[in-house]
Amino acid sequence: MMKKNTDVLVIGAGLSGLMAAAKAVAQHKKVLLVAKGMGALGLSSGCIDLWGYQINQPDKVCTNPLAEIAKLVSHKPEHPYAKVADVLPESIDFFLQICHQNKISYLNTNRNWQLPTALGTLRPTYLVPQSMAVPDLAEVKELLVVGFQALKDFYPDVLITNLQKNTPLGAHCHLKTLMVKLANQELNANTLAHLLEKQAMLEQVISQIKPHVLPGMVVLFPPVLGEQLGHEVTEVLSEKLGCSVYEVANIPPALPGQRLQKALLHHLKTQGVEVIIGCQVTDAQITEKRCQGVVANSNGKIMEISAQTMVLATGSFLGGGLTSQSNEIKEAVFGLPVKVCPGKWSRQDFLSLAGQPFHEFGVAVNDQLQPLDDQGQVLLENVLITGANLAGCNYPIEKCGNGVALASGYKAGKLVGEAGR
């Protein structure tokens, strides 16, 4: 049987796993990251949400998420943010720094942005890739939304119509839409993004848009403006069109999330982290309160991995980190107890503002991110829980998924870097 030995084993390649690995390796630990698949980060919008709405008025966007999280921590000590609030600002700095090093720049204005989506809604978010940093729409006089006839799932007219309903636009704001026609019949987001990196193609696109551009215009595109890191299609478009150009969030596949994932994975590889995707951890060897190692299945081959510390970053139901049966929910790798809420697991009103209870299911932890039983006793001393594995947050309504992943991953990485673990 193949054996591997490492200081830190990170299980999962989503944002929290990538952050944990990045912070651990920055502290000179030998890190191995294994994951069953590519992780949901590539399917995300690419923005980092911290906290969306005001705690006292859940229908109002909050401007300062950090202040809101401070309130939350005193209100709701079982929320994951309560376990990681101490490192939240430094985790953000660390993230921005890695992104910058890997040719993908994020903006932090210390407040929530409200970014338009492909559906013409406004979405509160905190850290935004440069290419998506749409300015305050109330200030915009001329807005043009550009779609591509060959691209499904992005309809400028839908965006504009809903935007007018949802957004306090300036009184004299002119909205226009435009469909770019290419020779291609049908393109998916990735193929289009790749094509737009070709100069000839970009020229063709520019020539169709240019006649419609007015001074001071803001032009919104689907999130397909190039795939490579450091290859700024947005910048070229903006320069050649002579106006501001942005990508708006859309359903997957979308490029900003993929670029972020690519940048973070590339960072880990250049820092010497061994990354194995397509390797599923199936079992753990536990003696007393320590995990000695895990067993993983690599395309049929069994591998034993031993590590001083393991970071669990396998996600929730979607990523397979939590498995559910009709009467029981379990954490998939270590069989840790999952904290569920008493009573009903779901609400009939699917999009209820109170959120679906099952989103809050996860593993309860202490301040050191160690898993706890229902008596509050540590179950495993050398296993740290991060991201969507954590109990107590309802990310779809709280808009905190990536924020919790970022801070908890960073904290796990920081804790394993400290001596004596």
Partner 1 sequence: MTQENRLALDNCIKCSICVSHCPVAKVTERFAGPKQNGPDLERFRLEEPAAVHPSIGYCSNCKNCDVACPSGVSISAMNAKAKGEYVTLHGAPLRDKILARVEQMGKASRLAPSLVNRLGRIKPLRVLGEAMMGVSSEMTMPTYAKKTFLEMFQPKKITASKDKVLYFQGCYVNYNTPEVGMALAAVLAYHDIELTVEPFNCCGLPLIANGFLDVAREYAQKNVSKLQQYIEQGYRIITTCPSCNLTLRREYQELFDLDTSQFNEQMMDAFEFLNLLDQRGELKVELQELPKRVGYHQPCHLKAAGCGIPSLETLRHIPGLEVRDLDAGCCGLSGSYGFKKEKYPISQEIGQNISRAVQELAVDQVISECGMCQLQVHHVTGAKVYHPIQLLAEAYHLA
Q: Is 1 in the site for partner 1 (CB under 8 A)?
A: yes
Task: Map tokens 């050398």 to a residue.
Answer: 382
Question: Which residue's CB is nearer to partner 1, number 187 or number 294?
Answer: 187
Closest approach, Cβ 198 to partner 1, in A, equals 10
- Name the segment binding partner 1 (CB under 8 A); options: 36-44, 51-59, 87-95, 360-368: 36-44
Q: Which structure tokens are listed for 119?
A: 């559906």
Closest approach, Cβ 191 to partner 1, in A, equals 6
From 45, 125, 258, 408, residue interacting with partner 1 (rule: CB under 8 A) = 258
From 63, 130, 188, 394, residue interacting with partner 1 (rule: CB under 8 A) = 188
Estimate to the nearest angstrom the gap between the alpha carbon of 374 and the chain centroid: 29
Question: Which residue's CB is nearer to partner 1, number 143 or number 281?
Answer: 281
Closest approach, Cβ 188 to partner 1, in A, equals 6
Residue 286 burial (CB count, 10 A): 16
From 266, 289, 330, 421, residue interacting with partner 1 (rule: CB under 8 A) = 266
- CA–CA dist 261, 254 (Å, integer): 12
Q: Sort 152 into a burial class: Cβ within 10 Å, 0-12 / 13-18 / 19+.
A: exposed
Contacts by 57-60, CB closer than 8 A, 24 or more apart: 58/353, 58/397, 59/353
From 10, 31, 140, 279, residue interacting with partner 1 (rule: CB under 8 A) = 279
Closest approach, Cβ 208 to partner 1, in A, equals 19
Q: Is 227 in the site for partner 1 (CB under 8 A)?
A: yes
Strand partners, 287: 290
DSSP letter at 134?
A: P
Closest approach, Cβ 349 to partner 1, in A, equals 23
Q: Which structure tokens are listed for 239?
A: 């320069």
Question: Which residue's CB is nearer to partner 1, number 101 or number 270?
Answer: 270
Strand partners, 283: 295
Q: Is 292 in the site for partner 1 (CB under 8 A)?
A: no
- Name the segment binding partner 1 (CB under 8 A); options: 50-58, 215-223, 238-246, 292-300: 292-300
- CA–CA dist 29, 40 (Å, integer): 25
Residues numbered 190 to 209 that lie near partner 1 (CB under 8 A) are 190-191, 194
State the pairing for strand pair 329-331/322-324: antiparallel
> Containing H/E element for 191?
helix 189-195
Rg (CA), the chain: 22
- Name the segment binding partner 1 (CB under 8 A); options: 33-41, 50-58, 94-102, 372-380: 33-41
- 64 close to 110: Cβ distance less than 8 angstroms: yes
Q: Which structure tokens are listed for 315?
A: 């996600």
Strand blocks (E) in 151-205: 174-180
Binding mask 298-337 for partner 1 (x = CB under 8 A): xxxxxx--------------xxx-----------------
Peptide bond into 253 cis (omega under 30): yes
- Name the segment binding partner 1 (CB under 8 A); options: 161-169, 188-196, 287-295, 377-385: 188-196
- 244 close to 133: Cβ distance less than 8 angstroms: no
Cβ-based neighbours of 420, under 8 Å, separated by 6 or more: none
Residues numbered 39 to 58 that lie near partner 1 (CB under 8 A) are 39-40, 42-43
From 29, 36, 339, 359, residue interacting with partner 1 (rule: CB under 8 A) = 36
Question: Which residue's CB is nearer to partner 1, number 2 or number 138?
Answer: 2
Q: Is 253 in the site for partner 1 (CB under 8 A)?
A: yes
From the list 351, 412, 396, the residue with the least C-alpha distance to 45 is 396
Q: What is the contact surface with partner 1 in residues (CB under 8 A)? A: 1-4, 32, 36-40, 42-43, 184-191, 194, 227, 252-253, 258, 265-266, 269-270, 274, 276-280, 298-303, 318-320
